[in-house]
Amino acid sequence: MNKELLLKNLRNIPDFPIPGIQFKDVTSLFKNPECLREMDNALYEMYKEKGITKIVGIESRGFVMASSLAVKLNAGFVPIRKPGKLPAETISETYGKEYGRDTIEIHKDAIDENDVVLIHDDLLATGGTMLAAYHLVKKLNPKRVMINFIIELEGLKGRETFPADAEIECLLTLEGK
């Protein structure tokens, strides 16, 4: 994968949404056709031989690569969304954030015990959102669950919040917070 191309095109926005946060704007990668293709191909190479049957994308930046990869892998796409957005029966998970709490939901019938699942989101920061998603998917008893991010902010040590056997891969690892 051409990491230089991605790093060159990844926009950093200082102090967004609050002072002190260095916001990595993945939309600057999504809007560039070369970057989009690079990420799409890299994800396909990473996961083409894992027998994945469902790709779970986390609202909303996680939807972009997750749905494209699902088509390439001949897998289904499943959304994890904020409360009240999914129309059928859901299960939910509430988790702590830097400020306050948040809840995410998945359709109860989206995954079953025959599925091999990849959960995808844009960025691993503290890991709170993905850990909640991981718990949600695990409740539906799939055969195997893998986790993927485009970017990992290594300095925030989000990886350490997951169980030691969690299978986590990232396209880009950035040293800072």
The residues that touch ligand AMP, with contacts defined as CB under 6 A, are 21-24, 61, 121-129, 153, 158
Min dist. Cβ of residue 36 to ligand AMP (A): 17
**Residues 61, 81, 93, 152: which is the catalytic one?**
61
Q: Is 81 a catalytic residue?
A: no
Asked if 94 and 122 touch (Cβ cutoff 8 Å), the reply is no
Min dist. Cβ of residue 42 to ligand AMP (A): 18
Min dist. Cβ of residue 48 to ligand AMP (A): 24
**Residues 98, 113, 160, 175: which is the catalytic one?**
98
Min dist. Cβ of residue 87 to ligand AMP (A): 24
Tokens of 120: 């995808």
Q: Which residues contact 111 (CB under 8 A, 6 or more apart)?
A: 54, 56, 78, 117, 137, 140, 142
Alpha-helix runs per DSSP H in the chain = 3-9, 27-30, 33-47, 62-73, 128-139
Q: Is 98 a catalytic residue?
A: yes
- Respond yes or no on whether the N-terminal peptide bond of residue 60 is cis (omega within 30° of 0): yes
Residue nearer to ligand AMP on the CB measure, 20 or 33: 20
Residue nearer to ligand AMP on the CB measure, 28 or 126: 126
CA 177 from centre of chain: 18
Residue nearer to ligand AMP on the CB measure, 75 or 132: 132
Residue nearer to ligand AMP on the CB measure, 7 or 143: 7
Q: Check residue 10 and report its DSSP letter.
A: -
State the residue for tokens 């040293």. Answer: 175
Paired strand residues for 14: 22
What is the set of active-site residues? Answer: 61, 98
